Amino acid sequence: MTGKRTKKRSDEEILFPEVEIGGFKIKPWSFGVLFEISEMLDAIFVKLDQRNVDLKFNFDEGLASNMPKFIRIAAIAAPEVKAILAITIDVNDEVIENLDMKTGMNLLITIFKQNFETLKNVFTISSELIEPEEIKEEIKKE
């Protein structure tokens, strides 16, 4: 047999694919990481809400079209963004501070998009499992 054997990917590898950027491996947040960064995420949302930052992104037009928005988010919430980046790629703050702008922004956008897609897919699945009418009926019973 001359064919090359391909490694069968696990369910986790299919559902939570890793991406490598600038030598850093990025994978979607685990539930534990989500808990660890939840206060930082909340602080980011508060800061963005105070500045009326629109959080609608259009990934169909490519990442470059969203770059100004990501730069603004990073500028408004720099301490939280830096900490979340460090936790996500498992490095210290100094490594994040020393990244070149292109790598840093690519990491930020990839982490956001990777987790946005995962959360969006989870909520889509759960909304299909529970019909709004079922929820209304449960509320009426209480």
Position 138 in a domain: no
Note whether residue 12 is domain-resident.
Answer: no
Domain count of the chain? 1
* pTM > 0.95: no
In a domain, 8, yes or no: no
Q: Could you list the residue range(s) of the whole structural domain that residue 89 is in?
A: 28-52+59-126
| Residue written as token pair 């909520």 | 123
| 3-class secondary-structure state, position 2 | coil
Q: Is residue 97 situated within a structural domain?
A: yes
pLDDT tens for each residue of the chain, 142 residues long: 455 555 555 554 555 578 899 999 998 999 899 899 999 998 998 999 999 988 777 767 766 777 888 899 999 999 999 999 999 999 999 999 999 999 999 899 889 888 887 666 665 555 555 445 555 555 555 5
